[in-house]
Each structure stands twice: as C-alpha cells, then as structure tokens.
Amino acid sequence: MAQIQVVGKNGGRSIELELPEVNPHVLHEVVTWQLAGRRRGTASTKTRAQVARTGRKMFSQKGTGNARHGDRTVPTFVGGGVAFGPKPRDYSYTLPRKVRQLGLAMALADRQAAGMLTAVDGYDLDGKTKSFVQWAKDNGMDGSEKVLIVTDDANVLRSARNVSWATVLPVAGLNTYDILRHDRLVIDAVALEPAQEMQEEAQQ
C-alpha cells in the first residue's frame, strides 16, 4: 500500500493507494497506443497512374541499343511514380480499457516509487509566475527537473504557462505518456481520492 503525502494549503494528510508492480511491457504497449493515435497519417505519394507525364513509349522497342522501356511514369525514372509509397491512413487502434487503466496506474506507481509524486490540496497562487516559482522552490522543485502538473486550478495554469520546465494538464487529460516523459508528477489530491475510496469499498 503506497502512502502519498498531501501538501498545500489544505494538506497535512495522506492518501493510501494500492498501486501495481511496474511492468515495462505494459507501459510500452500503452505509450505505443497513445503515440499511434496522435499520428496525423497525412503522408501521401503519387503512383505511376497519378504523375503528370506522357504515356508515350520512350523509343522503339528494338534497334536503339538501349534497354526496353515503356513510358516515363515508371518508378525507375526521376519524376516517375512511387511504388508502394505511403497513402493517407489512420494509425490508431483499440487497446483494452483494462490495459490502459493498468498502464496509468503503473506510471503513477513508478513516480511514487521514485519519490517523484506529489499530491496537492490548495495551491494558493495568485496567477503570477513569480509566486509559482516560489511555491515550486518551497516544495523541492528548482527547475532542474521536468514537472507535469495535473490540476483544474486556473491560477496554476496562468502561473506556470511561462515556466519552461513545467507542463500543466487538466485532471481529465492525465495520461501515461505525459507522466513518463516528465521527471516529477504534481497532481490534485482530489484526483487520487476517488481511487482510494473505490479501493476501500472493494475491501469491505
């Protein structure tokens, strides 16, 4: 059972979460699924039927001493079509919901095990960058680490948007890939407490 201390204006308590053991294979599967869904898939090439070149035979079949050729649209010539080139497509695919949830829980477990998970209840910021930098310094963040802040507090978004080492996401946008590509995770305590309540109900 992981004990997560809550800091902030209304902190001073702890959240108990039963987090799974980290499995790199599951994390890889979830991250690959996320990145596949983000691919635009707009790469496109023209086949020999689509290039704007004449279809006339280049020269006589026999008697010129050259290799046999038809028209200039074939892939072997500069300006010809592309054989088996990319076409617009959708790279996304379906990953089971339980696997996605497990990946997110493992990402939280990885940051918690490394001591890089901070739960906050009440930032008490005024929307100024200076106040955020001071708050971060008071909580052990000096800018040497990339920090992901997951919160619905509008003042935190305004305060941190000009800070190069901090990224702010709404609670609904919490995802495995963004957790893993940042060194530290700072999250609203209210986002973790529903999971704690569900675990307690399951144990009763």
What DSSP element (H or E) covers 148? strand 147-150
What residues does each domain of the chain span?
A: 2-40+90-202, 42-88
pLDDT of res. 200: 58
Are 20 and 72 in contact by the 8 Å Cβ rule? The answer is no
Cβ contact 53:79 at 8 Å: yes
Per-residue pLDDT of the chain (204 residues; tens, 9 = 90+): 788 888 888 878 888 888 999 999 999 999 999 999 999 999 999 999 999 998 899 999 999 999 999 999 999 999 999 999 999 999 999 999 999 999 999 999 999 999 999 999 989 888 899 999 999 999 989 889 999 999 999 999 999 999 999 999 999 999 999 999 999 999 999 888 766 655 655 555
74: Cα separation from own chain's centroid: 41
Span between the terminal Cα atoms of the chain, in Å: 16
Domain 2-40+90-202 of CATH type 3.40.800.10:
no
pLDDT of residue 5: 85
Q: Residue 135 is which amino acid?
A: W
